[in-house]
Amino acid sequence: MVVPVAHARVPRSGLGRWLMTGLVDDSGAHQGPHAKRVEHTNSWWRVMCLTGLDYFSTLGYQPAIAALAAGLVSPFATLVLVALTLFGALPVYRRVAKESFKGSGSIAMLERLLPWWAGKLFVLVLLGFAATDFMITITLSAADASAHAIANPFAPAWFEGGQVWITLVLIALLGLVFLKGFREAIRVAVVLVAVFLALNLVVVVVAIWHVIENPVVIEDWWSALFTQHGDPLLVIGVALIVFPKLALGLSGFETGVAVMPQIHGSQNDPPNDPQTRIRGARRLLTTAAVIMSAFLITSSFTTTLLIPQAEFQPGGEANGRALAYLAHEFLGEAFGTVYDVSTILILWFAGASAMAGLLNLVPRYLPKYGMAPQWARAVRPLVIVFIAIAFLITIIFEADVDAQGGAYATGVLVLITSASVAVTISARQRRQRPQFIGFGVITVVFLYTTALNIVERPDGLRIAALFILGILVISLVSRVGRSFELRAPTVAFDPVATEFIADDAERGELLFIAHEPHSESGHEYAAKDRDERRYSNIPAGARTIFLEVHPSDSSDFEEDLDVVGSSQFGYRVLRVRSGNVPNTIAAVLLAARDATGVVPTVYCEWTEGNPISNMFRYLITGVGEVAPVTREVLREAEPDLKRRPAVHVV
């Protein structure tokens, strides 16, 4: 017998009902902000375009940022980045796709590996870095889109100096899209990605042809490179040192595994091993990485050779828009404008990919941990919160692409490093020695890359720290504020437990004795039954049921309860495992009432010790002041006093 217990409160106002439309479930199967499950999946290459909104759109600013960060060494640093992409990040996320195929990503893998509060806190820290990654993706992409709009020669004069307000308008439009719905995202993504990659291919091919026709640019670059650095080994050393600054080119992998539920599966695949979907995700990741690597190498070489270094500096015509500079320079203003429009659209819609990532992560973890209000399961309130944060970031950074690059790279690198750690631990647990060694080496490389990026650009860590601090504070306040909520979506009684409850309900009363087992001996049950009947004035002929809550992970907030009935030394006992004793007792009482129509009573003892310390014990370990907290949970859950289960304390 399964009885639903915890119910979300339905808002009374029309606005409230609209905001709470489409509560997202915990399975990670939702395909957009207003869908609880994927009803129409797509082929892997179409889903790749959804991921590509974030990944491929970095071509709009990556070559310029690379040239600004690495200077003349940019092509060699890009080669190092591409090697790390193909032989580091790609193998890691192909493994993540196999082990976290529900779209949970590497964070879910680490959550399983680290139980109790340590795991929860670690996930919260990773969520802080993920929030940094996705939020800065929204603001940085919109800022670069506005930079392309302002730099276009056909842009109206009133665009000049309007970087901030144009960026805010683009972010607001993104928010409106998500408030309305996002069901056609993949179709739009396919068109935008196809057009954008085609235009970039034209620009790169023309640029390469121009280099072939003018080999002197190679000689000039080569001469300047060695004049500046002097020795080939020094050039290689500089490339190895500066390539972490190019980490923006690694974005998109975490999003790639987050969208796995979108990919076509096979009806013949078992739910716990969907090989068809996993193969599709691996093709997605591999194809995207290869395409991006080719563009990164060719765009880095051509922009470094053909654009004066001064133009990459702040205020230069190629700052944040290197390929757009080449499009206008070699293909004319008309083609350049088409390229600008395409870039603006994909950069703007790249924020949609990042927003989808946020909406995939936050409802999956924070409400389940009790570390966010229930409304955080709904998409529209979250969209409003995220857009407000994006506005604040844009205003603080004045829509400056370069200023946000450090925070973006930090978020990307920490997520990839955490994924590397997760697959390394997974390989070790499965005793896969070659994979363990390989992933271990990759982890060390990413740890070095992340550390170097943080040292070189500490602003990224500071921004991530603000996100982490905000999440931790909100989580703590929410966890305390939700202490007296029912935490069990369902309570399942096994046949024996169902029989116990039904038999007593036929007599018109349900009397439970809350029991904390110690020795579980017949003497213990007899003494408990005798004391409760004596001090609580339970009639001699009344039938009672012992209710025992055996502790589990107290860091869990929500958990479906399984109640098992048994006979112990002639006494009827209901046992349930849970990390929160008072909330569990309240949930079982309400479930028994709803199943039988009889309002139960539970008999408890006062907890010895200081009530304040007991309250802190309850918040951390789930035990402490059992009786008063149980009563408060019931009071919050059932406003009707006549239908509220009674708590009797002695």
pLDDT in tens, 163-202: 899 999 999 988 888 777 666 677 888 899 999 999 999 9
- Indicate the residue type of 109: M
Structure tokens at 188: 């739009």
Q: For residues 59 and 249, is the Cβ–Cβ distance under 8 A?
A: no
Q: Are residues 434 and 515 in the same domain?
A: no
For 396-433, the pLDDT digits (tens) are 888 887 778 778 788 888 888 988 998 998 899 888 99
Residue 614 predicted with pLDDT over 80: no
Residue 57 lies in a domain: yes
Q: For residues 124 and 468, is the Cβ–Cβ distance under 8 A?
A: yes
CATH number at 323 reads: 1.20.1740.10
Confidence of residue 622 (pLDDT cuts 50, 70, 90): low
Q: What is the dihedral of CA 640, 642, 644, 645, to 10 degrees?
A: 180
Tell me the C-alpha distance between 61 and 64, whole Å.
5
Closest alpha carbon to 258 in 354, 133, 126: 354
Per the structure, how many domains does the chain have? Answer: 2
Residue 20 lies in a domain: no
Q: Are residues 422 and 505 in the same domain?
A: no
Closest alpha carbon to 326 in 318, 316, 337, 314: 318
Structure tokens at 202: 């034209």
Residue 35 lies in a domain: no
The residue that leads in pLDDT, 298 or 148, is 298
CA distances from 439 to 269, 420, 499, 518 (A): 28, 6, 53, 46
The residue that leads in pLDDT, 392 or 133, is 392
Residue 292 lies in a domain: yes
Q: Are residues 474 and 497 in the same domain?
A: no
Per the document, the length of the chain is 650
Of the residues 444, 479, 514, which one is the last residue of a structural domain?
479
Q: What is the DSSP string of 203-238?
A: HHHHHHHHHHH-THHHHHHHHHHHHHH-SHHHHHHH
pLDDT of residue 27: 37
Residue 10 lies in a domain: no
Of the residues 452, 479, 506, which one is the last residue of a structural domain?
479
Closest alpha carbon to 94 in 260, 248, 270: 260
300 φψ region: left (φ > 0), alpha (ψ -120 to 50), beta (else): alpha
- What's the rounded mean pLDDT across residues 502-518? 85
Closest alpha carbon to 488 in 58, 152, 3: 3
For 647, the enclosing helix (H) or strand (E) is strand 646-649
Closest alpha carbon to 297 in 65, 448, 81: 81
- The residue whose two tokens read 């504020």 is 481
Residue 24 lies in a domain: no
Helices 275-306/322-365 angle, 10° precision: 150
DSSP 8: P
Tell me the C-alpha distance between 109 and 98, whole Å.
11
The pLDDT mean for the chain works out to 82
Q: Are residues 419 and 562 in the same domain?
A: no
Q: For residues 133 and 419, is the Cβ–Cβ distance under 8 A?
A: no
Q: How many CB atoms lie within 10 A of CB 103?
A: 24
Structure tokens at 243: 């390539």
Q: Are residues 468 and 495 in the same domain?
A: no
Q: How many CB atoms lie within 10 A of CB 611?
A: 11
- What's the rounded mean pLDDT across residues 222-249? 77
Query: Alpha helices, DSSP H only, in 152-184?
Result: 163-180
Of the residues 456, 479, 502, which one is the last residue of a structural domain?
479
**φ, ψ (nearest 5 deg) of residue 358:** -65, -45
Q: Are residues 255 and 376 in the same domain?
A: yes
What's the sign of the alpha-carbon dihedral 493, 494, 497, 503?
positive
The residue that leads in pLDDT, 609 or 436, is 436
For 533-552, the pLDDT digits (tens) are 887 878 777 888 889 888 77
**φ, ψ (nearest 5 deg) of residue 42:** -135, 165
Residue 35 predicted with pLDDT over 50: no
Residue 19 predicted with pLDDT over 90: no
3-state helix/strand/coil string of 536-605 = CCCCCCCCCEEEEEEECCCCCCCCCEEEEEEEECCEEEEEEEECCHHHHHHHHHHHHHHHHCCCCEEEEC
Q: Are residues 471 and 497 in the same domain?
A: no
Question: Which strand ranges, in their side-by-side order, compose the sheet holding 561-568?
Answer: 2-4, 490-493, 561-568, 571-578, 545-551, 511-514, 601-604, 646-649
Residue 32 lies in a domain: no
- What's the rounded mean pLDDT across residues 252-274? 79
Residue 530 lies in a domain: yes
Q: Are residues 460 and 554 in the same domain?
A: no
Confidence of residue 36 (pLDDT cuts 50, 70, 90): very low
The residue that leads in pLDDT, 524 or 378, is 524
Q: What is the dihedral of CA 469, 473, 475, 481, to 10 degrees?
A: 180
Q: Are residues 517 and 597 in the same domain?
A: yes
Q: Are residues 97 and 173 in the same domain?
A: yes
The residue that leads in pLDDT, 435 or 580, is 435
Residue 436 predicted with pLDDT over 80: yes
Q: For residues 91 and 260, is the Cβ–Cβ distance under 8 A?
A: no
Instruction: Count the alpha carbons within 13 Å of 79 in the hemisphere toward its beta carbon.
Output: 10
Tell me the C-alpha distance between 58 and 250, whole Å.
9
- What's the rounded mean pLDDT across residues 604-630? 66
Q: Are residues 303 and 218 in the same domain?
A: yes
Range of the structural domain that residue 575 is part of: 490-649
**In Å, how far from its chain's centre is CA 606?**
42
Confidence of residue 25 (pLDDT cuts 50, 70, 90): very low
Percent of the chain exceeding pLDDT 70 equals 86
Q: Are residues 509 and 397 in the same domain?
A: no
pLDDT of residue 407: 80
Tell me the C-alpha distance between 48 and 330, whole Å.
30
**Sequence-separated (6 or more) residues with CB below 8 Å from residue 246:** 62, 65, 66, 69, 70, 74, 77, 78, 81
Structure tokens at 30: 């939702």
The residue that leads in pLDDT, 291 or 131, is 291
Percent of the chain exceeding pLDDT 90 equals 18
